[in-house]
Structure 1
Amino acid sequence: MNEQRNMITALVLSALVLLGWALLSDKFFPTANKPATQIVNGKTVPLTPPAVAAANAPAQVQDRNKVLAQTPRVKILTPKLAGSIDLKGAQIDDLTLTTQRDTIAKDSPPVRLFSPQGTKDAYFAGFGWSGQNVALPDANTLWTATGDVLAPGKPVTLTWNNQQGQGFAIKLSVDENYLFTVQQSVTNGAGRPIALRPYSLVSRTGPSKDPSSWQAHVGPIGVMGGIAQYKTNWKDLDEAGAAGQKFQSTGGWLGFSDKYWLAAVIPDPKAQVDAAFASASGQYQAEFSPAAAPVAPNQTATTTSYLFAGGKDATLLDTYDDRYHFDKLDHAIDWGWFRIVEKPIFYLLDWLFRQVGNFGVAILLLTVIVRAIMFPIAQKQFRSANAMKAVQPKMKALQERHKEDKPRLQEEMMKLYREEKINPLAGCLPVLLQIPIFFSLYKVLTLTLEMRHQPFVLWIKDLSAPDPLTPVNLFGFLPFEPTGFLHLSVLAILLGGTMWLQFKFNPQMNMDPTQKQIFALMPWFMMFIMSPFAAGLQIYYIASNLITVGQMQLLNRRSPKTST
């Protein structure tokens, strides 16, 4: 009867863990990217995501190509960017990331970041001035360009004269990656001083299609006063409206973040600026402006700012911080609490990838390195577990002798531990050390641009997405696709099997029957819990489990046999 009751208890607890995880994981611990492939009739094919209408999109959405043809433009051409600058309004509103594709399909178009006003998913950057008693350029101003192509080493200057004695210029430069340098100049040819405030802004229509979560912020983002702004979301801006959220800062930056992409305006690191997020009719804006400065007659005032528009390449963001002294631009990636662990793991994994050319192999090598570093701890844990197993008869005798006197039993147990030189908590250390490693690898796999759409071998074409191969639909031969933890993938089954092997070879601790049954069931419901996670994370744990089994076999052969 007791055994039956214990088994029922174990099953109920397992079900609660499984169902509870399914309910909470999407909110607090999102799993992986959307699948990049699916298995159809046993073959791996690219998965084309369904079209999604932009939230709060304009009622009259115009064709992008027609809009681009309506006004004169300067081309943008770099190794990673292609697009154009609209000379009407001096807006960078046409930008694609030429080295990044929407899907893994060979004919997939490049990722589009910016699109002109009036088109689907309008998104652009603009620069100008505010002030009084001066005719200023606006969204309808037609600028003159000094060249027809903006490229690395080929800056372009936009000029306009208000016919009242003031001349305005915007000199744009771009590097080989994603950074634009913007120099705004005003020349006062009138006989009186003027005071103008230059501004830089990023504006987008509708929120990001990427979900924001507790662990991965998507939406309004920036660093103001040295503090990263991760708490502000789209709803906050809707509620604030045109009044917006305002900040004052020296340096810093602000803009909008998708999961992998960022558009942000960055003032001179030494400039004191007023900055704000605002919203109106589904249009979101991030802008900053330094204090107004007087421009004397026949003088020119110039301010420098920057625009980052591209992929959140972790190495590149760090490089920009070092080179230009930006204030924590690397915080555009929401590394979270374990940043101190996550970034070294990322850099090690990225270095391994550059050595071997395959991220899956790099993950396997990372697993070997992690397990090798932890081997002395695992060895100590194994010895402690064996020692605990050896003294179980003495522990049971003490429990029987002092079952009515709990304080005395605790005292005698501690005395036994000291005599036998046993640390009952030694087994917890490897588990505790694995938590930040697990979490760090999860973040690296699901947040870093470097892992996006990286293949491994065979059917695994995207290590940052779940394994698409599952026996639930007979490996794609049945016409449906199981989702969530019902998508029991091949990698998840291998993970459960290797975890079962690990528990089998682990020295048995002094557990009651219920605990033993829960541990016996754990590998199998862990299959369901881990199945929606990134394939790369599952590969790490499969390899880690197999290495652990090998280590246990080695330690078993070296250790004297114990009897109970």
Structure 2
Amino acid sequence: MVLLLSGCMEVDQPITSESEGIWNQIFVYPLSWVIIKIAEIFNNSYGLSIIIVTIFLRLLIVPLSIKQIKSSRAMQEVQPKLKEIQKKYSSKDANTQQKLQQETMKVMQEHNVNPLAGCLPIFVQMPILIAMYHAIVRTEEISNYSFLWFELGSPDFVLPILTGVFTFIQQKLMMSTNTAMNANPQIAMQMKMMLYVMPIMITVMAFFFPAALALYWVTGNIFMIFQTVLINKPMMSDNSNGGVKK
């Protein structure tokens, strides 16, 4: 809801150096300016500029993504102990539930696990991603150029399908590496539903948005696929080696 409401603000107003407001001056206009300058270097190739800027932004938030994955791994390690505590304090009376919370926090502290650490990177990324969306939609120069087979300022029919496909692959990879989620039937069912709902929703939206925005989504999703594979392989290898040593 926050993403949709933020995306609706001032979308119909072109972004310029004269645009007022902290949001425009600190986030949106600098990104728009960078897109324009990079495009000028590559003979006004705004499509290539969007790809470069998208990859650069994704690289900036890689440390946050690594932290998020590590937090998820840490939560997986304490799951057995948390389940034991839940069985021990399964009664629903107030005193038992209070004891359950105390024991849960104790386990979290002993293993240096913060359940909110996995959510923090998402909130940090949101302003960057929304600003990129605004910069693409509100930069008038983008709509005047084409890239590959499509016009950047008009909806395309191929990119939305690619967007949905790569969104599905990305979510599928993330689900396959989250063993804690697979161990919880309720969460697994919810995530499986999102696995299909999210790609369909984004595909439908992409059919109505300018192709430049769909290009941004496709590039970001492809980057996230490679990132997920590259980050999880070393971590899974470390966990495997640690298990052999034990």
Give the TM-score band, short-chain normalised: 0.7 to 0.9
The match for 2:168 is: 500
2:102 is equivalent to residue 426 of structure 1: no
The match for 1:472 is: none
2:229 is equivalent to residue 540 of structure 1: no
The match for 1:183 is: none
Deviations 1:337-359 (CA, angstroms, capped at 9, x unpaired): 45411122112212211222311
In 2, distance between residues paired with 1:529 and 1:427? 27
The match for 1:450 is: 141
TM-score under structure 2 length normalisation = 0.79
In 2, distance between residues paired with 1:443 and 1:401? 51
The match for 2:193 is: 518
Name the CA shift for 1:406/1:355 in 2 (closer, same or farther; >3 Å). Answer: farther
2:224 is equivalent to residue 552 of structure 1: no
2:101 is equivalent to residue 406 of structure 1: no
Name the CA shift for 1:417/1:372 in 2 (closer, same or farther; >3 Å). Answer: same
List alignment gaps of at least 5 residues for structure 1. Answer: 1-16, 18-24, 31-213, 218-258, 261-311, 319-329, 470-489
The match for 1:215 is: 10
CA RMSD of aligned residues (A): 2.7
Q: Which SS does the other structure have where 2:48 is aligned?
A: helix
For 1:493, give the aligned amino acid: I
| Conserved 8 A contact 1:360-1:536 | yes
Q: How does 1:5-24 map to 2 (within 5 A)?
A: none
Q: CA deviation at 1:446?
A: 2.0
Q: How does 1:71-470 map to 2 (within 5 A)?
A: 214-216=9-11, 314=16, 318=17, 330-331=18-19, 337-357=23-43, 358-404=45-91, 405-458=96-149, 460-461=150-151, 463-467=152-156, 469=157
2:163 is equivalent to residue 491 of structure 1: no
| Conserved 8 A contact 2:7-2:130 | no
Name the CA shift for 1:408/1:492 in 2 (closer, same or farther; >3 Å). Answer: farther
TM-score under structure 1 length normalisation = 0.37
Deviations 1:227-252 (CA, angstroms, capped at 9, x unpaired): xxxxxxxxxxxxxxxxxxxxxxxxxx
| Conserved 8 A contact 2:31-2:131 | yes
Q: CA deviation at 1:558?
A: 1.0
Structure scoring higher RCO (CA < 8 A, sep ≥ 6) equals 2
Q: CA deviation at 1:360?
A: 0.8
Q: Which SS does the other structure have where 1:391 is aligned?
A: helix
Name the CA shift for 1:374/1:526 in 2 (closer, same or farther; >3 Å). Answer: same
Deviations 1:74-106 (CA, angstroms, capped at 9, x unpaired): xxxxxxxxxxxxxxxxxxxxxxxxxxxxxxxxx
In 2, distance between residues paired with 1:345 and 1:385? 31
For 2:161, give the aligned amino acid: I
Name the CA shift for 1:365/1:414 in 2 (closer, same or farther; >3 Å). Answer: same
In 2, distance between residues paired with 1:338 and 1:417? 40
Which structure has greater helix proportion?
2
The match for 2:207 is: 531
Deviations 1:515-544 (CA, angstroms, capped at 9, x unpaired): 223322322333223432222222112211
In 2, distance between residues paired with 1:495 and 1:428? 24
Name the CA shift for 1:529/1:353 in 2 (closer, same or farther; >3 Å). Answer: same
List alignment gaps of at least 5 residues for structure 2. Answer: none
Deviations 1:288-331 (CA, angstroms, capped at 9, x unpaired): xxxxxxxxxxxxxxxxxxxxxxxx7x3xxx4xxxxxxxxxxx03
Deviations 1:438-471 (CA, angstroms, capped at 9, x unpaired): 221222222222222221111x12x23322x2xx
In 2, distance between residues paired with 1:394 and 1:519? 28
| Conserved 8 A contact 2:54-2:216 | yes
Larger radius of gyration: 1
Q: Which SS does the other structure have where 1:464 is aligned?
A: coil
In 2, distance between residues paired with 1:353 and 1:390? 47
Q: Which SS does the other structure have where 1:452 is aligned?
A: helix
For 1:523, give the aligned amino acid: P
In 2, distance between residues paired with 1:530 and 1:397? 46
In 1, distance between residues paired with 2:231 and 2:136? 32
Deviations 1:355-395 (CA, angstroms, capped at 9, x unpaired): 22311111111111111111111111111112222222222
| Conserved 8 A contact 1:445-1:451 | yes
Q: Which SS does the other structure have where 1:341 is aligned?
A: helix
Identity value in percent: 27
For 1:385, give the aligned amino acid: S
Name the CA shift for 1:28/1:439 in 2 (closer, same or farther; >3 Å). Answer: closer
Question: When the two structures are aligned, how many residues end up with a matched partner?
Answer: 224
In 1, distance between residues paired with 2:22 and 2:146? 26
